[in-house]
């Protein structure tokens, strides 16, 4: 079990919010969290990162709005997607659900338009046959 008392004070749960002096500092903290997840067979995620580093949702959101931090948040999302895709401890269906719900993946479907040339009389005959069979 981790001793949280020093971390809680240092990271702001008791009143001080964490301050990142640079985007690199935030990225390093996130990558530390990813290493922790890999070592402990956990799937990294933003909520887990915030809990692990004692960062409030509001604080992280404030940094996400700063232009100089945007590339780091793009990279964080890429790392999270990559960790989900390449995770060997979760099955394919779970991966698919995570990728769809968290990262906006959609299933690709093909729509094939088939053109059939027929006269109006042939179309009427087919419709009449269909209706008579389904009564």
- When pLDDT is averaged across residues 42-66 and rounded to a whole number, the result is 92
Tell whether 42 is covered by a domain.
yes
Torsion angle of the four alpha carbons 27, 33, 39, 42, in this order, in degrees rounded to the nearest 10: -120
pLDDT at 8: 45
pLDDT digits (tens, 9 = 90+) for 56-104: 899 999 999 999 999 999 999 999 999 999 998 889 899 888 988 888 8
Q: Where are the alpha helices (DSSP H) in the chain?
A: 5-11, 23-39, 46-53, 57-64, 70-86, 92-103, 120-133
Tell whether 119 is covered by a domain.
no
Mean pLDDT computed over every residue of the chain: 84
Structural domain span for residue 100: 5-109
Task: Return the DSSP state at 90.
Answer: S
Tell whether 39 is covered by a domain.
yes
Position 130 confidence tier, pLDDT thresholds 50, 70, 90: confident
Tell whether 124 is covered by a domain.
no
CATH classification of the domain holding 97 = 1.10.132.80
**Structural domains in the chain (count):** 1
Tell whether 36 is covered by a domain.
yes
Alpha-carbon gap, residue 27 to 25, rounded angstroms: 5
Tell whether 123 is covered by a domain.
no
Q: What is the token pair recorded at 19? A: 């301050």
Tell whether 25 is covered by a domain.
yes
Task: Return the DSSP state at 22.
Answer: S
């Amino acid at each position: 079990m981790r001793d949280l008392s020093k971390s809680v004070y240092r990271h702001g749960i008791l009143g001080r919010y964490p301050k990142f002096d640079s985007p690199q500092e935030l990225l390093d903290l996130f990558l530390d969290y990813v290493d922790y997840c890999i070592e402990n067979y956990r799937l990294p995620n933003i909520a887990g990162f915030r809990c692990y580093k004692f960062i409030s949702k509001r604080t992280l959101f404030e940094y996400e709005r700063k232009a100089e931090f945007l590339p780091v948040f793009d990279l964080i999302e890429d790392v999270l997607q990559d960790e989900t895709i390449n995770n060997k401890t979760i099955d394919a269906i779970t991966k698919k659900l995570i990728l769809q719900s968290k990262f906006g993946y959609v299933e690709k479907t093909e729509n094939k338009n088939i053109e059939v040339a027929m006269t109006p009389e042939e179309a009427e005959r087919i419709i009449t046959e269909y209706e008579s069979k389904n009564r």
